[in-house]
Amino acid sequence: MSSIYRTLTGGTFRDIALACLAVWCIGLSYGAVAVASGFPLWVPAALSVLVLAGASEFLFIGIVAAGGNPIAAALAGLLVNARHLPYGLALPDMAGPDVTGRVWRRLLGTHVMNDESVVFALAQEDLPRKRAAYWACGLGVLICWPAGAVLGALIGGVIGNTSAFGLDAMFPAVILALIVPALRDRATLQAALVGAVIALAATPFLPAGLPVLLALAGVLGLIIPRPATRPSTQPATRPSTRPATRPSTRPATGKSTRREAR
């Protein structure tokens, strides 16, 4: 842990702390909604530690509270979490084969993989900072999300639905602020716009979570290789064929000083 503090800058720690604060606030809403839907406190508490995926947990709680089958709710949560598959594929290419460590550290690192930890890792320049940002944010979320969920469940009867305070808007706002610098690249911006259009078009027709998965089609523009730029066919400038000025062969006008031998 001390190496993480030595590796990351103060600005990165501040951004990670703000992201974890947003996660904690959303956890309050999640715990309050779960208890208000009739679940005992241990359900959101256990899910927040074992699942550690806010979107899937919200979806599970909502489907079961509406009378749906818990197995179907769990499958829907797995479908939403399918976005972690490209995360896992991108991490080795992004930060080398040992971004999370070995054996038990790799297992723990896989568990704390989430949107925030991946985004912060991708935003760093070199491997040590990528690894430090990944662990700092992942462990921060592992602490803040269950803490917010338990506290929200305890005071859920008093606060009610915390979404009325606009706390649910903090999470997407933080993610948007994190990805804005990457949108300066033209290819990345085009992929993001294509994904946004696909998600918006599919939202009225598909269940929650599926439009986000379909938006990954925008990444195909970054994967498909582009044709190489053809060399210019404009002929090169011809060298001048004008003959160089030849030295004058005109004899000198001076008189010769050489005398013939008699």
**pLDDT tens for each residue of 168-226:** 566 666 667 667 776 777 877 888 888 888 888 888 887 766 777 777 777 676 656 55
b/e map 138-170, b = 16+ CB within 10 Å: bbbbbebbbbbbbebbeebeebeebeeeebbeb
pLDDT band at 143 (very low <50, low <70, confident <90, very high): very high
What's residue 94's pLDDT? 46
pLDDT band at 162 (very low <50, low <70, confident <90, very high): low
What's residue 139's pLDDT? 92
Neighbour count for residue 59 (Cβ, 10 Å): 21
